[in-house]
Amino acid sequence: MENIPQKINGNFKGKDIITLDQFLKKDIDILFSKTSKMKKLVQAKGGSSLLKGKIMTALFYEPSSRTFGSFVTSMQRLGGGFIPLQGMGNSSVAKGESLEDTIQTFSSYSDMIVIRHSEVGSAKIAASATEIPVINAGDGIGEHPTQALLDLYTIYEKHKKLDNLIGVIAGDIKNGRTTHSLIRGLSIFKKNTLYLLSPRQIRLSRMDFENFTKRGIKLIEIEKEIDLPKNAHFWYWTRIQKERFENLKHFEKVKNSFTLTRKLVNTYGNSKMIIMHPLPRVNEIDKEVDNDTGAVYLKHQMRNGMYLRMALLALVVGKI
Ligand code: NCD
């Protein structure tokens, strides 16, 4: 278990994708250049038969629309097949099967496994139970690496750099796994500053705050909109993760903190920044913002997820 997950170090073939900590700058460069090729391929021809004969298991123990849908379509656009398992309550898990046994089963049918699970560390446990690549599609409040990679790609596409950036992350920073991966990802590059806007109850755990800060990224925790910087390159709003609260009264207290409105954009935003959200949103971005030129959450942020997952799937099975 010690050497799982392995560093990518320029070679994706056969590797699990569990955390952003596996990536160096050169790995991000490789992935982004392949992602741009996939984007061109889809725009020109819709897809190819690159992954013909390959099968992906999509093993989702927790709800998902985009992540599940984009992994499945990524396989289909490259001519591969998939085993779709959503709502594992209908499977042998309901009979008490262990995660390891389930993983062994689908390793004998498929060439890679994409897993979403409610427990932190579950993707790593899955990876230890099989030789085929395992991709973490969200492990509880842990990480969601492919979301962060598509977020980084979206920021890169707009600003042509991933260093010297000023960003705002707002919402549930304690429980939001996409933010944990994004902060790790932005820490790979130099001189990035993040303003973390959240109520005190759902700011980063002190352990995460210390661990992240040690990597050299500047994290500025704020609790009021008035402290937002006006020169941000991106705003990244997130959903308050209701399902992670043990006591719903605590959720009720913070549920409508910080709604992103046109007024907020006009007051603290700027014309060059992009507005992002991993989705789903509940109330935290007003619909009036959807058509702003900088609002990418319902547009290319999501589409980039498909291009990036196409590239990643092809890389881990060694086809590109
Ligand atoms: C996120 C997740 O599942 O962590 N969704 C996603 O995959 N884009 C964000 C969320 O659920 O709030």
Cβ count near 89 (within 10 Å) = 8
- For residue 46, the model assigns a pLDDT of 98
Ligand 1 atom with minimal separation from the 62 CA? 3
Chain mean pLDDT for the chain = 96
State which ligand 1 atom lies nearest to the alpha carbon of 305: 8
Q: Is the CB of 150 under 6 A from ligand 1?
A: no
- Pocket of ligand 1 contains residue 276 by CB under 6 Å: no
Q: What is the pLDDT of residues 68-94, one digit of tens each?
A: 999 999 999 999 999 999 987 777 887
Mutate to test the pocket of ligand 1, among 65, 66, 67 (most ligand atoms within 8 A of CB): 67
Burial class (CB in 10 A: 0-12, 13-18, 19+), 274: buried
β-pairing, 55-60 with 234-237? unpaired
37: buried, middle or exposed (CB in 10 Å: 19+, 13-18, 0-12)?
middle
Average pLDDT over residues 151-171: 98
15 lines ligand 1 (CB under 6 A): no
The confidence score (pLDDT) of residue 87 equals 83
Q: Is 70 in the pocket of ligand 1 (CB under 6 A)?
A: no
pLDDT tens for each residue of 171-208: 999 999 999 999 999 999 999 999 999 999 999 999 99
Where do the DSSP E strands lie in 186-260? Answer: 193-197, 218-222, 234-237
